[in-house]
Structure 1
Amino acid sequence: MSTTSSVTTTTTIINTAIPLSSFEKVKNAYNHRDYGELIRQATNTIVHIEQLELLLMLEHRAHALGMKSKFGAAEQDAETMIKYAPTLPQSYLCFGKILSMQGKQKRALKVYQEGLEKVPTNHLAYGQLLQAKKMADEKNNQHFDLVSALPLEVKDEIVKLLSEAERSNLFDVSTTWSQRLENCQEAWKYIYNDHDHNGDIAVSQVLSKIAKHINHLTITTTEENVWLKYLGHLENGHFRNLKSLVLTDDMVVDVFCTNSITSLMNGFWKMRYTLTNIDLRFYKYGTSITITDILFHLPYLKKLFFLVRDSLAEVLGELEVLQEPHRSLIDFTLSTSSTSSDALKSLTRWCPYVRRLRLEEATPSALDIVTDYFLNVEMLGYNNGYELPVSHEVLNQDHNNNEPIIPIIGMNNMYTKQEQGRLRAFYSGNGWEGVSGDEFLRLLQKNQKTLEIIHANMGITSQQDLDGEPYDNFRPDYAREAASVVLNLDRLQKIMFWPDIYGVYEPLFCRMVGPSLKYFKSVGTSDLFAVVDTLINSQEILETLGFAQVFIESNDQDNALAAQCWIRLFNKYAVTSLPGPNTTKKLRNVMLDYCYNISDNVLDALANIKTIKGLSFQGNSRITRQGFKNFFIKLNKQNVQITKLILGSMNNVLDRNMLFDIISIMDELEALHLYDIKWVTSDDIKVSIHSAKKLNTLVLKRCDADSGDIIAFVNSTSRKFKYVKIIEYLDLDSDFDFDTFN
């Protein structure tokens, strides 16, 4: 068989002949009627034939992939050949040729040398290996390296544009490349791997040269040998500038044993002065790493994300080993199979300076533990299922708790229970299990003087579901108290809520509408008319107003009444929210997501509000195509400049022409979010980007657009984008975040 390339021409001899002894053994067993031996010898011969055919196909495909410049896939085929037949020369000849085609002569030399050591010297193609190694050696010594002629800054820019795998492979091109790559600090600051098998392997092979430059490292390998390479460099302290580490994979748990944990902790200790942010996610039950291990070996750790399938009690470790509280940890995400109040309380003594706390799978009583004993927590996520927002982006910067409270240790080694909290932001789950009413009411009362943000899902809890609530003539204690409680939430700026089954929290939240409130969103309201009446009668002007999941499950008359309700509200804002510098507060953002009774005349009233900058419409409704188009035309005629637009799941209204018509008249559009619109293609997005000249933020969720194609197009434009995110699947950290307008 002959294979050719632009680099070299060789003839690879593949010995497809079956050894005569195999046929003799089969024939001999047949003549002696030894059918067991006959089956065994015939099977061996068949397997040998299949192996040779597989090698032949792999070599053909590797050559074709190389000719199509798909070198990564070609190398995989060649490596498979070597693993499958380590003593046959064609495997090494194929791999070496693929490497030579890329100019990787040094690496090709290593492959040829490995072949010479493993292939029998009496093999027919052994001489080909010798000749191939000689040719590669000559080319490595004689070729001209263009990189040596380029200015240093140009070399660095070239390197930074390459992928992690491509950068790593260039170490084999030449001495000049290798030296430049090893000294290019900017190229290795961030190593994400990003579940790229080839990238994982390629980076692991050059860790000894680049580990010193890495600031942020993500390890996602599924290969034990690759993980052990990373672990070895971690233990030896080679990542001496590492600031952030993400370790997440099922495979890693399988290879974790006492020795590997010890190695990892030794590495943590050697990096303790720089490593301040770690993210550990173990998706199988039985992790041996404890919170004590982490806090002890990383005394300067500031941010910890710890996800395990064990309970909190099982992963605490011997906390007394710490001897004194951890003074650096301020951002803590804890996701376990069960976060009980007792286990959480024992942790409060050792993590007293935490300010951002996120708890997943936490029991209701955990809320009391946080407000009573976590003295410095300002932002709390309670079974919320998504990342907390950045504090300085959402909290009032004019009211900062700069100095942490110095905790007082009581005689029982627990902190004194606090009478007043300092919680500023509370986030519960979006549409999942609700918050217990009793504990939440106590949280509101204790933190009413500091709360600025409330995201409260008061839907049915698991315990209420088990108890069969609601049932006749029963009202829990919190329902009676919440109906009459008076709260002074003078700092409250933002509230988003789901009502409870007893209908007491929705009126309570409505009573919170006051002078400081800027953001109000009702999800799944049980009484749309009462909520709207409250907003109208309050005489307060909100900056962001949202409604979601509003259903009127009745007749056309009820839908018409609901539409009139919306119209009254928007007419009020059209009069009171006025453009111009003299108006202190203006309605800027409106969200109407999955509000199934919104109609054309509602949109017509909404279009009269001339201060709107952001709009969100999701879900089918009673809006017609023409009504939707007329809405945007009216906004444009009134010179209302929309800068942020969110559209999703609007199959009855939105099509390709409609989308283009809308975007074409939005001269100031900066942010575009499209969710669950299956007909959106990469070409549609390119047209939209071209049409919206000021667009700098793009988010797509589950649209039929190719992410790689779009990213490449964005990078090819002269425009600088602030943010681009393309999600092709259900993403818990982003899909259930209803807070699209901060």
Structure 2
Amino acid sequence: MADSGAASQPRIHKIRLAPYQTAVRNLNKAIVVRKSFPQIIDMASAALDELFNTQMLELLEIRAYAYSTQGKLYSAIADAQRMIGYAPTSSIGYLCKANIYAMYGYQIRAIEAYDEGLNRSTASSHPCTAIYHQWCHEQLEDARAKAVTHNDNRIDIIAKLPVKVAHSILARLSQASAGTCLYVSNVWRKLIINCAGAWEDVVVSDSTTNNLRAEMLVILKIVPLIKCLTIDTSNTEARSTLFLAMKTKKLAKLQSLKMTELTSRNVRPDLTNFSNGLWQTTTLTTLTIDFGDNEDVITLRDILSSSSALTDLSYSTNGHLYDVFGDFTTWNSDGISSLISLQVKSGIITGPMIEAMLQCFPQIRRLVLYGCQFCVLDAVATHLPNLRVFACNPFSKHIPALETKDLNSSDNEEARPQEGIRVLHVNHQTGRTTFGIPAMQLIYKSMETLEVLHVDMPANNQLHLRRNYPHFDMKSIRNLTLSGAPEILPFILQSLRETGTLTSLDVRCVPSIMTIVLYLLRMRRLPAELRISDTKCSQGHFALVQLFQKYESESLNPLQNILLESCASVNDFVLEILARVGTLRQIILNDLKNVTSSGIKRIVNKSRNGNLEKLVVKRCPSVNSEVILYAKSKIQEVVYEQ
């Protein structure tokens, strides 16, 4: 909000009920005592005048000024305009409107409102309001004079700056502030419209604006500059307008489009314009679309056939993918090979269903599937030789994007990256034991290139791991998350004995923590980040003590971050040994039934001379708030939840 200079501060005052109450008492007296109908008419008219000319105006004035202090200019001006509508000959509404404009730095508009009030307002014929209206009239004259002086003396710093410097400043504004700049002056309007940096990323949302219609008027002026557009609104008019802009090639620089489930509701009337818009927007490379439960959708095939430049597609539906997939058996892939990243979320994804599409896009390097069955893994392994990132029903919602090395297609063999999956998330989800065989085959095939592996597989005695997967050794692994079958966990961990690249290990739902620690103690280099959760065995505390003692004694294995969650083996003694690890920066303790306030205090006392920066304690019933207060006085950041 700009400095007003001439504007007075908002006048938020209490409502004066006495004049209205007096008018009502006179009316009641005329009705009960005198029973004179002419007098009743006069008294009722006086009460109505008092209600509209004073009470209603005061309420609107108070709300208008309250809106203005919250940055809601349009709402404030709307209330001021209603005041003028109720009392067009009173100066109160004009004064309110002008003062609000002046508060926002719109001095020209303020002067126009002051002049309008001076020309249209007249003295009141009612004694109870005449004095107040006269005071407002005098305020109009005084405020107008100050506004004129302030407008004549002001310096527009932005207008005097070099264009490049002004654009650099304007590009840092929020979308709402950039829209406001359009109405400051003609100079600002020209600067902000030509400032490409201010409009590269635009969001149309019900939750970020109080006046979507006004915001759409702003957006329509700058659509040629938009590079990234997010549509998150239930307003069908706004959606139709933007789809039409795509169809008519007005979004000439659009590179990324995101359409949420809220926007896709009842989208059938606009599907034709949307499909044509995808065809006309030749610069579009990234598309994220969520149809949710909506049955009116555009199929995957239609999207891919309409957007020849598309490299990154994310498609979500709660329905069966068969209904929205489209027919890829007749696909003509000549000249269309740009898609390298695909994310699909559906109720059910089967192997035969997705195999036809994968055959059409063998160049895909990133594939994320939610809701897929185990038979999908065979199709992926067969038809995507260039795959670098693959997630099947992943735990995490954030799967890493492709890196530069994943896109390297150099003819130089030394510069070309080693073929194989670099990031792999595999979660059985369905619980079927047959899932483990194709999943393990995929892991084994990519063992030399895997850097990130998140795996959750059911128990399966048919795997015969050591016989079917000899010389299993993951040499490049950095981030490992393990959960599921007890025979798979030690098999994978034993492959890490000579690995020196592992920096993060997350172990979940293991029957015995002692087995996990045994393999960790044999490793040449321990991970710097350790997460252990959902272990029900209470006999593993000595194993944890051994592990933390090794971290304490070996400077080459610094432990920086640790999470212990739902671990029956963790008690106060284990925490005391853990606190001796001087390299720790963050400790997270969650749902630990055997940890008390004494254990937390030991951590705090041991870490006073260490590097511990953050301590998180959640759902530990034997930990009281007093020790948390003590911890907050010693550690930089402490988070506590009962």
| TM superposition score category, shorter chain reference | 0.7 to 0.9
Cα distance in 2 for residues equivalent to 1:281 and 1:526: 39
- The 1:588–1:433 alpha-carbon spacing in structure 2 relative to 1, beyond 3 Å, is farther
Aligned 8 A contact 2:497 2:522 in 1: no
**Aligned residue among 594, 600, 625 for 1:628:** 600
Paired position in structure 2 for 1:427: 425
Deviations 1:156-186 (A, max 9, x none): 5664554322321332333233222212222
**Aligned residue among 502, 508, 513 for 2:496:** 513
Alignment partner of 1:566 is 2:544: yes
Deviations 1:289-329 (A, max 9, x none): 12222222322222111112333222233433544374222
Paired position in structure 1 for 2:124: none
Question: Percent identity over the alignment?
Answer: 20
Cα distance in 1 for residues equivalent to 2:112 and 2:354: 55
CA RMSD, Structure 1 to Structure 2 (Å): 4.4
Paired position in structure 2 for 1:441: 440
- The 1:673–1:276 alpha-carbon spacing in structure 2 relative to 1, beyond 3 Å, is farther
**Aligned residue among 507, 512, 516 for 1:527:** 512
Paired position in structure 2 for 1:545: 530
TM superposition shift of 1:357: 0.9
Cα distance in 1 for residues equivalent to 2:10 and 2:548: 75
Paired position in structure 2 for 1:360: 370
Cα distance in 2 for residues equivalent to 1:365 and 1:455: 19
Aligned 8 A contact 2:586 2:612 in 1: yes
- The 1:326–1:487 alpha-carbon spacing in structure 2 relative to 1, beyond 3 Å, is farther
Alignment partner of 1:173 is 2:143: no
Q: What SS does the aligned partner of 2:580 have?
A: coil
Paired position in structure 2 for 1:369: 379
Q: Amino acid of the residue matched to residue 221 of structure 2?
A: K
Q: What SS does the aligned partner of 2:249 have?
A: coil
Q: Amino acid of the residue matched to residue 532 of structure 1?
A: V
Alignment partner of 1:191 is 2:191: no
Q: What SS does the aligned partner of 1:360 have?
A: strand
Cα distance in 2 for residues equivalent to 1:381 and 1:362: 10
TM superposition shift of 1:348: 0.6
Paired position in structure 2 for 1:230: 242
Compare 155-164 and 306-315 and name the one that shifted more. Answer: 155-164
Q: What SS does the aligned partner of 1:491 have?
A: coil
- The 1:573–1:322 alpha-carbon spacing in structure 2 relative to 1, beyond 3 Å, is same
- The 1:100–1:545 alpha-carbon spacing in structure 2 relative to 1, beyond 3 Å, is closer
Cα distance in 1 for residues equivalent to 2:79 and 2:296: 33
Q: What pairs up with 1:312-351 in 2 under 5 angstroms?
A: 312-319=321-328, 320-324=330-334, 326-351=336-361
Alignment partner of 1:653 is 2:623: yes
Cα distance in 2 for residues equivalent to 1:389 and 1:251: 26
Alignment partner of 1:247 is 2:247: no
Q: What SS does the aligned partner of 1:448 have?
A: coil
**Aligned residue among 576, 586, 611 for 1:641:** 611
The number of residue pairs the alignment matches comes to 548
Q: What pairs up with 1:456-475 in 2 under 5 angstroms?
A: 456-458=455-457
Deviations 1:391-434 (A, max 9, x none): 549xxx7xx683399xxxxxxxxxxxxxx982222114599978
Q: Amino acid of the residue matched to residue 489 of structure 1?
A: D
Paired position in structure 2 for 1:261: 271
- The 1:212–1:247 alpha-carbon spacing in structure 2 relative to 1, beyond 3 Å, is same
Aligned 8 A contact 1:567 1:602 in 2: yes
TM superposition shift of 1:545: 2.9
Cα distance in 2 for residues equivalent to 1:58 and 1:480: 84
- The 1:174–1:624 alpha-carbon spacing in structure 2 relative to 1, beyond 3 Å, is same
Deviations 1:560-618 (A, max 9, x none): x422121122223333x22xxxx4x5444433233243122212222333444454333
- The 1:506–1:170 alpha-carbon spacing in structure 2 relative to 1, beyond 3 Å, is same
Q: Which structure has the larger Rg over C-alpha atoms? A: 2
Cα distance in 2 for residues equivalent to 1:458 and 1:62: 65
The TM-score normalised by the length of structure 1 is 0.63
Aligned 8 A contact 2:592 2:620 in 1: yes
Paired position in structure 2 for 1:504: 487
Aligned 8 A contact 1:547 1:593 in 2: yes
Cα distance in 2 for residues equivalent to 1:600 and 1:142: 69
Q: What SS does the aligned partner of 1:603 have?
A: helix
TM superposition shift of 1:535: 2.2
Deviations 1:241-298 (A, max 9, x none): 22222111424431432xx33322333333323x211211122321331222222232
Cα distance in 1 for residues equivalent to 2:57 and 2:471: 73
- The 1:282–1:533 alpha-carbon spacing in structure 2 relative to 1, beyond 3 Å, is same
Q: Amino acid of the residue matched to residue 277 of structure 1?
A: T
Q: What SS does the aligned partner of 1:206 have?
A: helix
Cα distance in 2 for residues equivalent to 1:348 and 1:202: 44
Cα distance in 1 for residues equivalent to 2:618 and 2:335: 48
Alignment partner of 1:488 is 2:494: no
Cα distance in 2 for residues equivalent to 1:451 and 1:381: 13
Cα distance in 2 for residues equivalent to 1:199 and 1:340: 45
- The 1:167–1:591 alpha-carbon spacing in structure 2 relative to 1, beyond 3 Å, is same
- The 1:549–1:140 alpha-carbon spacing in structure 2 relative to 1, beyond 3 Å, is farther
Q: Amino acid of the residue matched to residue 511 of structure 1?
A: Q
Q: What SS does the aligned partner of 1:571 have?
A: helix
Q: Amino acid of the residue matched to residue 402 of structure 1?
A: N
Q: Which runs of 5+ in 2 are unaligned?
A: 1-6, 12-47, 114-139, 412-417
Paired position in structure 2 for 1:75: 74
- The 1:182–1:647 alpha-carbon spacing in structure 2 relative to 1, beyond 3 Å, is farther
Aligned 8 A contact 1:224 1:252 in 2: no
Aligned 8 A contact 2:256 2:286 in 1: yes
Paired position in structure 2 for 1:39: none
**Aligned residue among 268, 281, 287 for 1:271:** 281
Cα distance in 2 for residues equivalent to 1:570 and 1:245: 48
Cα distance in 2 for residues equivalent to 1:496 and 1:8: 58
Q: What SS does the aligned partner of 1:663 have?
A: coil
Paired position in structure 2 for 1:33: none
Cα distance in 1 for residues equivalent to 2:374 and 2:260: 28
Alignment partner of 1:388 is 2:387: no
- The 1:543–1:251 alpha-carbon spacing in structure 2 relative to 1, beyond 3 Å, is closer
Alignment partner of 1:214 is 2:226: yes
Alignment partner of 1:595 is 2:580: no
Q: Amino acid of the residue matched to residue 513 of structure 1?
A: L
Cα distance in 1 for residues equivalent to 2:257 and 2:112: 32
- The 1:375–1:571 alpha-carbon spacing in structure 2 relative to 1, beyond 3 Å, is same
Cα distance in 2 for residues equivalent to 1:140 and 1:266: 52
TM superposition shift of 1:547: 1.0
TM superposition shift of 1:74: 6.4
Paired position in structure 2 for 1:684: none
Aligned 8 A contact 1:250 1:284 in 2: no
Q: Amino acid of the residue matched to residue 375 of structure 1?
A: P
Cα distance in 1 for residues equivalent to 2:388 and 2:58: 61
Paired position in structure 2 for 1:284: 293
Cα distance in 2 for residues equivalent to 1:191 and 1:214: 7
- The 1:147–1:649 alpha-carbon spacing in structure 2 relative to 1, beyond 3 Å, is farther
Q: Amino acid of the residue matched to residue 543 of structure 2?
A: C
Aligned 8 A contact 1:211 1:238 in 2: yes
The TM-score normalised by the length of structure 2 is 0.72
Q: Amino acid of the residue matched to residue 298 of structure 2?
A: I
Q: Amino acid of the residue matched to residue 316 of structure 2?
A: L
Aligned 8 A contact 1:379 1:423 in 2: yes
